[in-house]
Amino acid sequence: MILRQIKDYLREKGSAELPEIMTVTETDKNTAEHVLELLSSKGIVKKEVLKPSCKGCTCSGICISETVIYHYSKK
């Protein structure tokens, strides 16, 4: 069920970040990541990792983590 929810959501939206997918499907991080890895292994989803443009910290010294976006890629 969750697999279909994530697949359908990404097909409709095109792409989304993990927190958005977790909210929409009401799943925890581990479950969502597991399903996304499965969809990725089947070529349905592609994972894009965007690194911060700086060394990872803001001027105030707060580290910024990388952004992960999942794209629907099945045609």
CATH topology of domain 2-72: Arc Repressor Mutant, subunit A (1.10.10)
Judge whether 71 and 46 are in contact, CB under 8 Å.
Answer: yes
Quote the crossing angle between the two packed helices 29-41 and 2-13, to the nearest 10°.
70
d(CA 40, CA 61): 34
Domain ranges in the chain? Answer: 2-72
Strands 45-50 and 15-17: unpaired
Total residues found in the chain within this entry: 75
pTM: 0.80
Residue showing tokens 């803001």: 58
> Which pLDDT tens digit goes with each residue over 48-64?
988 766 655 555 555 66
What is the arithmetic mean of pLDDT over 2-29? 95
Task: Find tokens 């990541």 and name the residue.
Answer: 33
